[in-house]
């Protein structure tokens, strides 16, 4: 039975491959010529036509699931660009699993791979449909293959020796501050000039199935994603929390930086059960047991007055729009600003409202973490290129909690935050990564530090009590009006009016604080983002959107 099914998959795969190779033949003729039992012909027709028509959708789903990498099967040794046949077989099997008969039968490794991930693939397909994601599959860009040495189990010297045993040469580190791109020739490896313990191989190099990767001594992790743990760089005795951990790349990078003799700990939160299981497995494989503790729980449920009172260092890498992921989406990593720089222009099917909702959750997570009494350093990151999830979040956090400041993250990284007036107090402290400039996914990292008590007191002293009053009088320094004050004003307006349209609230804010309409629009957005609980008498405040 399974053999018959595999036979049909193989025939379908060959037809699609031949069709692509010999443009003139056409699918129809190939289908008629196929040697299959009479009863199987209609199945073959449906399979080939369906897989052909739905290719983009199927590959977009598989890509989002990380399957396009996984499909370079464990048997492959480096370097091994994936054989084209595997991709085409994947296309057929995915069609059967998700859109055709909805059954996965056969005997090949691809069939096993899809079978094992069927439920999760179905979920991804449903969620893509729900959010109206476009189905254009753009083949992967030429991204170097990055490999990180896991210092809990290995060393740079062992990694070098291992690669050399495959005939790879380590070429010297390049390092001119202006050029942060990575170009590695085939059969060469190059240590990263910024991220310690990270090396790059030529694009298309597969390390899946490699013995050190399988054992957790080497970790396949994108360059940009290494910036978060590096921005945190906790000492070996730190008590760390990762608020959003699965699948565990940054959690385990933090652990690796703390080293095998660390006396501290890492508590790794993950609220999704499925993803928690992956996290737990990775911690085990990568030598984190005992020292890194997975916690299946929403970090927002932590009572900051009684739990995790000794935590000093925190990683926050929350759910985001993923708009920087060139490898998965083929989306641009250019910062996309609309005509009005406050507009959000989203790519890959994530709409403005979703991005705002994400930014609100991101802000809340940071503000919640900042309340832990011993917290002193936080690294915040996203794989988004939207300012709404990046600089805007930093600005809102700083406005909402003056006890913390944004300090330089990974100073060696040459590309910093957006050069926009309102971000100028911290833009040079945050990092941005970009595919074209840094040969990696679009990414953002900020490092927050709690101010010393003396400093807070000093600031309290120099700021005159009626600073807010002055700011109100000075329309140009509208950024100085605190979020608290604006929130109070919004609440009051809505309380008096019952319910209000956004436009009206904006107008009234502009009048009350003597700021211009554009600034009022931006500040109102900050108020809404910063306050999950815009409440009056225990009821959530409702601002009606414009008709």
Ligand X SMILES: C[S@@+](CC[C@H](N)C(=O)[O-])C[C@H]1O[C@@H](n2cnc3c(N)ncnc32)[C@H](O)[C@@H]1O
7, 319, 342, 428: which one contacts ligand X (CB under 6 A)? Answer: 319
How far apart (Å, rounded) are the C-alpha atoms in residues 320 and 360? 11
**Contact status: 298 vs ligand X (CB under 6 A):** yes
Residue 317 near ligand X by CB under 6 A: yes
Q: Is 292 in the site for ligand X (CB under 6 A)?
A: no
**Contact window for ligand X (CB under 6 A) among 184-192, 243-251, 448-456, 488-496:** 243-251
Q: Which is nearer to ligand X, 88 or 256 (CB)?
A: 256
| DSSP tag of 238 | -
Nearest to 208 by CA among 61, 13, 68: 68
Give, as ranges, the residues between 179 and 208 that touch ligand X (CB under 6 A): none
Q: Residue 317 annotated as binding? A: yes
User: What gap in Å lies between CA 3 and CA 256, rounded to an integer?
Assistant: 45
Using CB under 6 A as the binding rule, whether residue 442 contacts ligand X is answered as no
In whole angstroms, give the CA distance from residue 117 to residue 157: 36
Minimum gap (Å) between residue 115 Cβ and ligand X: 23
Rounded to whole angstroms, how far apart are CA atoms 364 and 384?
17
Smallest gap, in angstroms, from Cβ of residue 342 to ligand X? 25
Instruction: State which residue, 93 or 246, has the beta carbon closest to ligand X.
Output: 246
Say if residues 200 and 223 touch (Cβ distance below 8 Å). yes
Query: Is 298 flagged in the annotation as binding?
Result: yes
Regarding 140 and contact with ligand X (CB under 6 A), the answer is: no
Q: Taking CB under 6 A as the rule, does residue 359 contact ligand X? A: no
Minimum Å distance from CB 10 to ligand X? 36
Q: Find the binder of ligand X among 239, 271, 313, 387 (CB under 6 A).
A: 271
Find out whether 100 and 12 touch, Cβ atoms under 8 Å. no
464 is in an annotated binding site: no
100 makes contact with ligand X (CB under 6 A): no
- Contact indicator for 389, 320 with CB cutoff of 8 Å: yes
The secondary structure of 294-352 as a DSSP string is EEES-GGG--TTTSSTT--EEEE------TT-HHHH----S--B-SSTT-B---TT--H
Which one of the spans 68-76, 131-139, 247-255, 482-490 is the region binding ligand X (CB under 6 A)? 247-255
Among 76, 91, 224, 249, the residue binding ligand X under the rule CB under 6 A is: 249
Say which of 226, 240, 320, 383 is annotated catalytic. Answer: 383
Residue of 146, 191, 199, 269 that binds ligand X (CB under 6 A) = 269
Annotation-wise, does 454 bind a ligand? no
**Residue with smaller CB distance to ligand X, 16 or 244:** 244
The strand pair at 443-450 and 377-382 is best described as antiparallel
Site map 361..390 versus ligand X, x via CB under 6 A: ----x-------------------------
Q: φ, ψ for residue 219 (rounded to 5)?
A: -125, 130
Report residue 294 as tokens.
């997975």
| CB-nearest residue to ligand X | 244
The yes or no reply on residue 247 touching ligand X (CB under 6 A) is: yes
HSE toward the beta carbon, residue 212, CA cutoff 13 A: 25
Cβ atoms 286, 253 nearer than 8 A: no
Site membership for ligand X, residue 296 (CB under 6 A): no
Tokens 């709404």, residue? 388
Nearest-angstrom CA–CA distance, 119 and 133: 19
Q: Is 245 annotated as a binding residue?
A: yes
Stretch that binds ligand X, among 22-30, 294-302, 339-347, 441-449 (CB under 6 A): 294-302
Among 76, 124, 206, 245, binds ligand X (CB under 6 A): 245
Q: What is the rounded CA–CA span in Å between residue 405 and residue 377?
A: 10
- Does residue 244 interact with ligand X by CB under 6 A? yes
Closest approach, Cβ 373 to ligand X, in A, equals 20
Cβ neighbours of 215 (radius 10 Å): 14
Residue placing its CB nearer to ligand X in the complex, 298 or 449: 298
Is 250 a binding residue for ligand X by CB under 6 A? The answer is yes
- Given a contact cutoff of 8 angstroms between Cβ atoms, the answer to whether 321 and 347 are in contact is no
Alpha helices in 22-108 (DSSP H): 27-33, 41-53, 55-64, 67-70, 84-98
Q: How far is the CB of 281 from ligand X (least distance, A)?
A: 13
| In 108-197, beta strands by DSSP E | 145-149, 169-171, 188-191
Q: Which residues pair with 294 in a beta bridge?
A: 268
Contact with ligand X (CB under 6 A): which of 299, 413, 448, 513? 299
Asked if residue 318 binds ligand X (CB under 6 A), the reply is yes
Place of tokens 């050399």: 164
Candidate list 115, 118, 140, 275; residue touching ligand X; CB under 6 A: 275
Euclidean distance between the first and the last CA atom of the chain, given in angstroms as a whole number: 59
Q: Catalytic annotation on 383? A: yes
Helix 352-370 / helix 517-530 crossing angle, nearest 10 deg = 60
- The reply to whether 250 sits in an annotated binding site is yes
Q: Which of 98, 184, 200, 246 binds ligand X (CB under 6 A)?
A: 246
Tokens representing residue 147 in the block: 């490999």
* Helix or strand (DSSP H, E) at 431: strand 431-433
| Interactions with ligand X, residue window 486-505 (CB under 6 A) | none
Instruction: Tell whether residue 474 is among the known ligand binding residues.
Output: no
* 66 counts as binding ligand X under rule CB under 6 A: no
Based on the shown chain and the rule CB under 6 A, indicate whether residue 300 belongs to the binding site for ligand X.
Answer: yes
Contacting positions for ligand X (CB under 6 A): 225, 243-250, 269-272, 275, 298-300, 317-319, 365
Binding-site annotation, residues for S-adenosyl-L-methionine: 244-250, 270, 298, 317
Residues with a known catalytic role: 383
């Amino acid at each position: 039975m399974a053999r018959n099914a595999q036979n049909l998959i193989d025939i379908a795969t060959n037809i699609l491959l031949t069709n692509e190779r010999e443009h003139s033949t056409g699918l129809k003729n190939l289908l008629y010529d196929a040697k299959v039992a009479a009863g199987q012909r209609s199945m073959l027709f449906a399979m080939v036509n369906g897989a052909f028509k739905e290719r983009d959708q199927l590959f977009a789903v598989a890509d989002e699931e990380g399957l396009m990498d996984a499909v370079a099967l464990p048997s492959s040794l480096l370097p091994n660009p994936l054989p084209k046949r595997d991709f085409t077989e994947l296309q057929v099997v995915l069609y059967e699993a998700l859109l055709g008969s909805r059954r996965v039968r056969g005997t090949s490794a691809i069939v096993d791979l899809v079978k094992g991930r069927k439920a999760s693939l179905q979920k991804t397909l449903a969620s893509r449909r729900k959010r109206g994601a476009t189905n254009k599959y753009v083949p992967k860009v030429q991204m170097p293959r990055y490999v990180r040495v896991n210092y809990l189990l290995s060393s740079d010297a062992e990694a070098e020796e291992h690669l050399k045993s495959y005939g790879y040469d380590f070429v010297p580190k390049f390092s001119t501050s202006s050029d942060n791109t990575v170009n590695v020739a085939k059969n060469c490896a190059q240590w990263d000039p910024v991220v310690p313990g990270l090396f790059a191989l030529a694009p298309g190099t597969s390390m899946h199935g490699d013995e050190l990767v399988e054992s957790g001594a080497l970790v396949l992790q994108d360059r940009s994603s290494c910036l978060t743990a590096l921005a945190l760089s906790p000492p070996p005795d730190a008590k760390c929390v990762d608020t959003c951990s699965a699948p565990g790349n940054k959690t385990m990078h933090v652990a690796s930086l703390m080293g095998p003799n660390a006396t501290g700990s890492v508590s790794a939160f993950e609220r999704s059960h499925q993803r928690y299981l992956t996290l737990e497995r990775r911690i085990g494989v990568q030598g984190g047991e005992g020292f890194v503790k997975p916690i299946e729980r929403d970090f927002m449920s932590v009572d900051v007055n009684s739990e995790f009172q000794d935590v000093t260092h925190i990683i926050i890498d929350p759910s985001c729009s993923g708009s920087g992921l060139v490898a998965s989406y083929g989306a641009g990593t250019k910062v996309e600003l609309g005509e009005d720089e406050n507009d959000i222009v989203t790519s890959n099917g994530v709409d403005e409202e979703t991005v705002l909702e994400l930014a609100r959750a991101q802000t809340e997570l940071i503000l919640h973490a900042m309340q832990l009494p011993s917290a002193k350093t936080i690294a915040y990151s996203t794989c988004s290129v939207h300012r709404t999830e990046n600089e805007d979040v930093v600005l809102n956090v700083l406005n909402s909690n003056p006890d913390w400041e944004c300090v330089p993250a990974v100073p060696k990284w040459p590309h910093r935050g957006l050069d926009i007036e309102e971000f100028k107090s911290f833009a040079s402290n945050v990092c941005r990564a970009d595919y074209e400039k840094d040969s990696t996914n679009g990414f953002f990292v900020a490092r927050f530090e709690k101010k010393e008590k003396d400093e807070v007191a000093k600031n309290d002293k120099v700021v005159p009590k009626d600073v807010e009053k002055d700011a109100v009088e000075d329309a140009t320094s509208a950024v100085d009006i605190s979020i608290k004050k604006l929130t109070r004003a919004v609440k009051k307006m809505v309380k008096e009016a019952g319910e209000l349209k956004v436009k009206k609230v904006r107008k009234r804010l502009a009048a009350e604080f003597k700021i211009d309409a554009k600034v009022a629009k931006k500040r109102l957005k900050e108020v809404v983002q910063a306050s999950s609980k815009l409440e009056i008498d225990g009821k959530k405040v409702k601002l009606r959107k414009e008709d």
